[in-house]
């Protein structure tokens, strides 16, 4: 029998060491980068060991899958990183601590309304931005974000921690850099006009998190580099 905790500890330590090395290259403090382990498709049996392996924030891309896992690990900080349908917004609010994939003003308004109804004090969210204007991807278009922010930041209870993006699938990590530079630049411009926009930048996945950290990521969403390869077809949701 292999040792699941030992393997997770080693995988986490290796990712943390790579984050620290990326921070050192650009003189950043590593405490400014949160590691969220993306656990989609990973069995609950393995995930039960995540907290003891030092993984206290986990992310899922489907509400239904999360519904089976979250109640078993209530002390984990659960992040939703996949597309959220309006009809699952209430369930998502119940399950997740942070919703990273808010991709429309309508969805933000619905989350805010439901959160008020449920007496929530604050709901941390990120706005997903389709920085590369990839027709296959969800997210706000960069050009529409200024107007959208005006509306979203006025909504009660939602706390907009920052912007999130899913980079293009790349062969070489370096190819993702332009996407990350664009997201950071966009965030800086927007914060000049909307000071209450949080400074968070959720960017970087297994293949490119070091480049993302070099470009200012404050939250990396790492799946395969911690849990190993997923079954084919289970790539980051569009
Ligand atoms: C699956 C997923 C990740 C993690 O991808 P890896 O390549 O396994 O690190 C990150 N973000 C989102 C939105 C995802 O769907």
Which atom of ligand 1 sits closest to the CA of residue 38? 4
Is residue 238 situated within a structural domain? Answer: no
CATH number at residue 181: 3.20.20.10
Question: What tokens were used for 216?
Answer: 């200012």
236 within domain boundaries: no
| Residue 151 forms part of a structural domain | yes
Query: With 50 as the cut, is the pLDDT of residue 238 above it?
Result: no
In-domain check, residue 9: yes
Residue 203 domain boundaries: 4-227
58, 78, 236, 237, best to mutate for ligand 1 pocket (most atoms within 8 Å of CB): 236
What confidence tens digit (pLDDT) does each residue in 101-140 have?
999 999 999 999 999 999 999 999 999 999 999 988 999 9
In a domain, 232, yes or no: no
| This prediction's pTM | 0.96
Domain count across the chain: 1
pLDDT at 155 over 80: yes
The arithmetic mean of pLDDT across residues 20-35, rounded, is: 98
Rounded to the nearest angstrom, the distance between the alpha carbon of 169 and the centre of ligand 1 is: 10
- Top mutation candidate among 37, 41, 59 for ligand 1, by most atoms within 8 Å of CB: 59
User: Cα dihedral sign for 75, 76, 81, 82?
Assistant: negative
Is 174 within the bounds of a domain? yes
How many Å is the maximal CA-CA distance in the chain?
Answer: 56
Closest of 52, 98, 48 to residue 74, by C-alpha: 48
Separation of 158 CA from ligand 1 center, angstroms?
Answer: 24
Is 61 inside a domain boundary? yes
> Nearest C-alpha to atom 8 of ligand 1 is from which residue?
223
């Amino acid at each position: 029998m292999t040792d699941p905790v030992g393997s997770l500890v080693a995988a986490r330590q290796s990712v943390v060491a790579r984050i620290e090395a990326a921070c050192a290259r650009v003189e950043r403090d590593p405490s400014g980068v949160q590691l969220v382990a993306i656990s989609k498709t990973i069995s609950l049996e393995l995930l039960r060991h995540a907290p003891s392996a030092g993984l206290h924030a986990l992310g899922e891309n489907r509400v239904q899958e999360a519904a089976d896992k979250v109640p078993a690990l209530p002390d984990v900080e659960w992040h939703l990183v996949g597309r959220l349908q309006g009809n699952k917004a209430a369930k998502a609010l119940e399950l997740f601590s942070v919703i990273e994939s808010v991709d429309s003003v309508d969805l933000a308004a619905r989350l805010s309304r439901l959160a008020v109804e449920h007496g929530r004090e604050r709901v941390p969210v990120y706005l997903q931005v389709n920085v590369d204007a990839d027709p296959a991807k969800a997210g706000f278009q960069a050009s529409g974000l200024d107007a959208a922010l005006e509306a979203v930041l006025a909504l009660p209870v939602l706390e907009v921690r920052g912007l999130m993006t899913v980079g293009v699938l790349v062969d070489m990590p370096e190819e993702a850099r332009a996407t990350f530079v664009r997201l950071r630049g966009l965030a800086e411009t927007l914060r000049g006009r909307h000071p209450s926009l949080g400074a968070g930048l959720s960017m970087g996945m297994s293949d490119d998190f070091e480049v993302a950290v070099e470009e200012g990521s404050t939250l990396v969403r790492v799946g395969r580099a911690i849990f190993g390869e997923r079954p084919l077809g289970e790539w980051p949701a569009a």
